[in-house]
Amino acid sequence: QVQLQESGPGLVKPSQTLSLTCTVSGVSISSGYYYWTWIRQPAGKGPEWIGRFYSSGSTDYNPSLQSRVTISLDRTKNQFSLNLYFVTAADTAVYYCGRVSTGDYTIDYWGQGTLVTVSS
């Protein structure tokens, strides 16, 4: 079955780069039927969409983060990654990776989430 799993450091210092990887199993990230997305959720708040990557290579980012974020794919490892640069305490959140079906645009599979804390 389809599974997504986030991995990466749980603690990042201010002004440094937050780097996370999502390992996908059960489906190829090269499939044209899906977008691959990152979403974050600060404690006690609603989710915030970060951005998405389509298998064609196109990307879309939240304008609020666009200047600091990149999402990329590693097709050989069936993984996709998030880099968020120049982080501050406001970037502390649980980060989720997810799959979006191009058929209905719902996030039908989510990773379990990983807490990233920005602190010195």
Partner 1 sequence: EIVLTQSPDFQSVTPKEKVTITCRASQNIGNSLHWYQQKPDQSPKVLIKYASQSISGVPSRFSGSGSGTDFTLTINSLEAEDAATYYCHQSSSLPLTFGGGTKVEIK
In contact, 113 and 6? CB cutoff 8 Å: yes
* Phi, psi at 119, each rounded to 5°: -160, 150
Q: How far apart are CA 66 and CA 60, in angstroms?
A: 9
Report in angstroms how near the CB of residue 63 gets to partner 1 at its nearest. Answer: 6
Q: Which is nearer to partner 1, 15 or 101 (CB)?
A: 101
Give the DSSP H or E segment for 111: none
Instruction: Determine which residue in the list 38, 69, 111, 118 makes contact with partner 1, applying CB under 8 A.
Output: 111
Report in angstroms how near the CB of residue 102 gets to partner 1 at its nearest. Answer: 11
Stretch that binds partner 1, among 22-30, 47-55, 70-78, 83-91 (CB under 8 A): 47-55
